[in-house]
Amino acid sequence: MGRAQQAGAEQVDTLDELIDRCDAIASVCPPGAATAVAAQVAACGFDGLYLDANAIAPSTARAVADTVGQAGATTVDGGIVGPPAHQPGTTRLFVSGPMRDDVVTSFAGSAMEVVVIDGDVGAASALKVAYATWTKAVGAALLTVRAYADVEGVTDALLDEWHRSQPGTVERSELTAAAVGPKAWRFGDELRELARAMEDADLPGGFQMAAGDVYDRLAPLKDRAPVDLDEVVALLVGDGAR
* CB neighbours of residue 141 within 10 Å: 14
d(CA 145, CA 134): 16
Q: Could you tell me if 71 and 135 lie in one domain?
A: no
Do 151 and 130 form a contact (C-beta atoms < 8 A)?
A: no
d(CA 134, CA 11): 36
Pairing relation of β-strands 92-96 and 74-81? antiparallel
Q: Could you tell me if 105 and 34 lie in one domain?
A: yes
CATH of the domain at 75: 3.40.50.720
Find the distance separating the first CA and the last CA of the chain, reported in whole Å.
Answer: 40
Max Cα separation, the chain?
62
pLDDT of residue 240: 37
d(CA 75, CA 94): 14
Q: Could you tell me if 162 and 98 lie in one domain?
A: no
CATH of the domain at 237: 1.10.1040.10
Residue 137 CA, distance from chain mean position: 12
pLDDT in tens, the chain (242 residues): 566 677 677 889 999 999 999 999 999 999 999 999 999 999 999 999 999 999 999 999 999 999 999 999 999 999 999 999 989 999 999 999 999 999 999 999 999 999 999 999 999 999 999 999 999 999 999 999 999 999 999 999 999 999 999 999 999 999 999 999 999 999 999 999 999 999 999 999 999 999 999 999 999 999 998 999 999 999 999 843 43
168: burial class by Cβ within 10 Å (0-12, 13-18, 19+)? exposed
Q: Show which of 86, 101, 120 is a domain's final residue.
A: 120
> pTM of the entire structure?
0.90
Please name the amino acid found at residue 35.
T
As a dihedral over the C-alpha atoms of residue 41, residue 43, residue 44, residue 49, rounded to 10 degrees, the angle is 40
Q: Could you tell me if 111 and 220 lie in one domain?
A: no
Residue 218: give the domain boundaries: 126-241
d(CA 69, CA 45): 10
